[in-house]
Structure 1
Amino acid sequence: MAGYRDLLRTPGVGRIIAAQLTARFPNGMTSLAILLHIEHVTGSYGAAGLVLAAASIGQAIAGPVTSRWMGRWGMRPVITATMLVCAISITAIALLALPVPGYMALGFLSGLSTPPIQSAARTIYPKLVTAKQLTPLFSLDASLQEIIWIIAPVVITVVATQVGTVPALLLIVVILLGGGAWFVLSPEVGRVRIPRSRRSIGKVLTKVPVLLATVVGFLLIGACSAVEAGVVATFDHGGLEAGIVLALFSVGSLAGGLAFGHIPIGPWAMARRLAIVTVGLALTIVSLDVFWLGGTLVFAGIGIAPALAVLFAMTSASVKFSDTAEAFGWVGTGQLIGAAAGSAIAGFLIDDIGPTGAYVAATAFAAAGLIVAVVFVRGFPDLRGRDASPIPDTEPVSTIT
């Protein structure tokens, strides 16, 4: 913990972490709030699912595109523009009475305009700290983001059920604008300029570590989404037990990230961390008892944030600085698609064999990620004693011989 205290004392680090967490806080609220609101106004969970699917598709498309735009037009203009469009679209969902296709269009627009805060923050980090501090910073970031998933769903559920779904959506808009403005106005955002990439969009995926990070992120977050679906189904669609068990899952991740963030990252780091996740999730299949699930998910969670830290570090270390934001955008898109796939597959299995099916799906996703990490271990960079910062952008220099 002393190392993390020293890290947070580095000028700008604490401010950027706090600002980006606040700006991203709506990420843990928006889907649930839209689900509750659309179901309330239409009386159909199916309609709500269609709107959420449209929003997810928009987010998946936006990830690498808006991240790449930051190298062309700058962080502040891109984040400000997307933030305003996103806020307007969510406000429209809250206040307008529309047919389902209209809500789907607004959901797609809100997803498409999701501000690329995460890509921006992780692009800024290498410019704030020394090479030795970068890997612990990625670990701290991966750990602290669990706060979003512990607190945000509880807050938005209480507001939506006790005050109303319209105030819940408007609360998201307020936090989005407030947190986004804090991040955009932070001096560090103005000081970092991303060079314009000379590569065509998507070319960054030809970097093996970036492709592996995208695939493993897809499988890891797919496992987490399947767990969430299973927990909700186990405890009668979101009772008190469901909230507690999911919070324990996030607490395990938070603890794991803080405990293991200082460990150097070698080629086998991802496999070791995914092994913890896989074993923990496999144990959930044994029993649906609340205490058993709580304990096994704490154990599984211990590997989540450390695995994400590996993803962030290997992505950063494998690309030029001008490609960093786009690379993180692709990794984020992989995670979004994984979340949708995990939820969908878990849902089918819950209908077929009950809640246990969701934990089987989660275990399968995690095991697939572990297999990828083992089979393609040579594709994972060895960052032990090595700078995890992006590769500097250089140009040929003419010389007279």
Structure 2
Amino acid sequence: MAGYGDLLRTPGVGRIIAAQLTARFPNGMTSLAILLHIEHVTGSYGAAGLVLAATSVGQAVAGPVTSRWMGRWGMRRVLTATLAVCAASLAAIALLLLPLPAYMALGLICGLATPPVQSAVRTIYPKMVTSRQLTPLFSLDASLQEIIWIFAPVLITFVATQAGTVPALLLIVATLIGGGAWFILSPEVGRVRIPRSRRRLGRVLARPPVLLATIVGFLLIGACAAVEAGVVATFDHGGLEAGLVLGVFAVGSLAGGLSFGHLPIGRWAMARRLGIFTVGIALTVVSLNVWWLGGTLLLAGAGIAPALAVIYAMTSASVKFSDTAEAFGWIGTGQLIGAAAGSAIAGFLIDDIGPTGAYVAAGGFAIAGLAVAIIFVRGFPDLRHRDASPIPDTEPVQTIG
């Protein structure tokens, strides 16, 4: 923990972490608020699911594209433009009575315009700290983002049930604008310039570490999404026990990230961390007792943030600086698709065999992720004796002969 204290005393680090967490806080509220609002307006969870699906598709498509745009037009321009469109589309969903196709179109626009804050901040980090501090910083970031998933759903559910779904959506708009403005106006966002990439869109996936990071992220988040569906189904559609168990899951991730973040990252680091996660997930099928699930998910959670820290560090260390934002965009897209796949598969299995089916689905995703980390271990970079800084971009230099 002393190492994290030194890290947070580095000029600008504490501020940029707080700003980006505030800017990303709506990510933990938007889906639930849209679900509650559209169901309230239309009386149909099916209609709400269609709007959510459109939003998720927009987010998945936009991730690499808007991240890459930051190298062309600058971070502040892209973040400001996407923030304005995203906030306007959410406000329209909240305030306008529209047919379902129009809500779906607005959801798609909202997803497409989701500000690429995550890609931006993880591109900025290597320029703020020493090479020795970068891996712990990625771990701290992965750990603290659990704050979003612990508090945001609780806050938005409380506001939606006590004040209504319209105020809940408008709260998200206000947080999006306030947090986004704080992040955009941070000095580091103005100082860091991403060189324009000369590669075609998607070529960064040809680098094995980036592809492996995307695949592992897909499987890890797929397992987490299946667990969330299983917990909600286990405890009668989100009772008090469901919130507490999911909170314990997130607390386990926070604790794991803070405890293991200082450890060096070798080729087997991902396999070890996913091993902890997989053991915890596998044990959930033994019993659906609230105490058992809480304990097993606390164990499983201890592997999540450390695994995410490996994903971010190996990605940063494996690409040129001009490609980092796009690479993180692809990783975000993989995680979004994983969340959708995990929820969908878990849902079908819950309907077929009950809540246990969701934990079986989560176990399948977790085992697949662990298998990838073991089978393709040589594709994971060894960062024990090097830092996680991006590869410098080089320009041809004219010489006088």
Question: What TM bracket, shorter-length normalisation?
Answer: over 0.9
User: d(CA) in 1 for partners of 2:288 and 2:26?
Assistant: 31
Match status 1:240 vs 2:240? yes
Match status 1:327 vs 2:331? no
Residue 302 (structure 1) shift: 0.2
Mark the runs of 5 or more structure 1 residues left unpaired by the alignment: none
| Amino acid paired to 1:202 | G
Equivalent residues in 2 for 1:171-250, closer than 5 Å: 171-250=171-250
Residue 246 (structure 1) shift: 0.1
User: d(CA) in 2 for partners of 1:400 and 1:106?
Assistant: 57
Equivalent residues in 2 for 1:316-355, closer than 5 Å: 316-355=316-355
User: d(CA) in 1 for partners of 2:400 and 2:97?
Assistant: 70
SS across alignment from 1:59: helix
Residue 395 (structure 1) shift: 1.8
Partner of 1:145: 145
| TM-score normalised over the length of structure 2 | 0.99
Once the two structures are superposed, residues 42-72 of structure 1 have per-residue CA deviations (whole angstroms, 9 ceiling, x without a partner) of: 0000000000000000000010000000000
SS across alignment from 1:200: coil
Residue 397 (structure 1) shift: 2.8
User: d(CA) in 1 for partners of 2:21 and 2:30?
Assistant: 15
Equivalent residues in 2 for 1:107-146, closer than 5 Å: 107-146=107-146
| Amino acid paired to 1:66 | T
Partner of 1:284: 284
User: d(CA) in 2 for partners of 1:396 and 1:353?
Assistant: 62
Once the two structures are superposed, residues 118-146 of structure 1 have per-residue CA deviations (whole angstroms, 9 ceiling, x without a partner) of: 00000000000000000000000000000
Once the two structures are superposed, residues 300-354 of structure 1 have per-residue CA deviations (whole angstroms, 9 ceiling, x without a partner) of: 0000000000000000000000000000000000000000000000000000000
Residue 398 (structure 1) shift: 4.0
SS across alignment from 2:38: helix
Partner of 2:42: 42
Equivalent residues in 2 for 1:390-401, closer than 5 Å: 390-399=390-399
Partner of 1:9: 9
| Amino acid paired to 2:247 | A
Residue 387 (structure 1) shift: 1.4
| Amino acid paired to 1:113 | A
SS across alignment from 1:54: helix
Partner of 2:304: 304
Partner of 1:96: 96
Measured on the aligned residues, the alpha-carbon RMSD in Å equals 0.7
Residue 180 (structure 1) shift: 0.2
User: d(CA) in 2 for partners of 1:207 and 1:220?
Assistant: 20
SS across alignment from 1:350: helix
SS across alignment from 2:392: coil
| Amino acid paired to 2:375 | V
SS across alignment from 1:228: helix
Partner of 2:264: 264
| TM-score normalised over the length of structure 1 | 0.99
User: d(CA) in 2 for partners of 1:14 and 1:236?
Assistant: 40
Once the two structures are superposed, residues 253-304 of structure 1 have per-residue CA deviations (whole angstroms, 9 ceiling, x without a partner) of: 0000000000000000000000111100000000000000000000000000
User: d(CA) in 2 for partners of 1:202 and 1:257?
Assistant: 30
Mark the runs of 5 or more structure 2 residues left unpaired by the alignment: none
| Amino acid paired to 2:171 | L
User: d(CA) in 2 for partners of 1:188 and 1:400?
Assistant: 37
| Amino acid paired to 2:284 | T
Once the two structures are superposed, residues 71-123 of structure 1 have per-residue CA deviations (whole angstroms, 9 ceiling, x without a partner) of: 00000000000000000000000011111111000000000000000000000
Once the two structures are superposed, residues 142-201 of structure 1 have per-residue CA deviations (whole angstroms, 9 ceiling, x without a partner) of: 000000000000000000011100000000000000000000000010000000000010
User: d(CA) in 1 for partners of 2:213 and 2:66?
Assistant: 19
User: d(CA) in 1 for partners of 2:239 and 2:399?
Assistant: 70
| Amino acid paired to 1:308 | L
Residue 396 (structure 1) shift: 2.7
User: d(CA) in 2 for partners of 1:55 and 1:395?
Assistant: 39
Hey, which bits of structure 1, 4+ residues long, moved more than 6 A?
Answer: none
| Amino acid paired to 1:325 | A
| Amino acid paired to 2:239 | G
Match status 1:68 vs 2:68? yes
Equivalent residues in 2 for 1:369-380, closer than 5 Å: 369-380=369-380
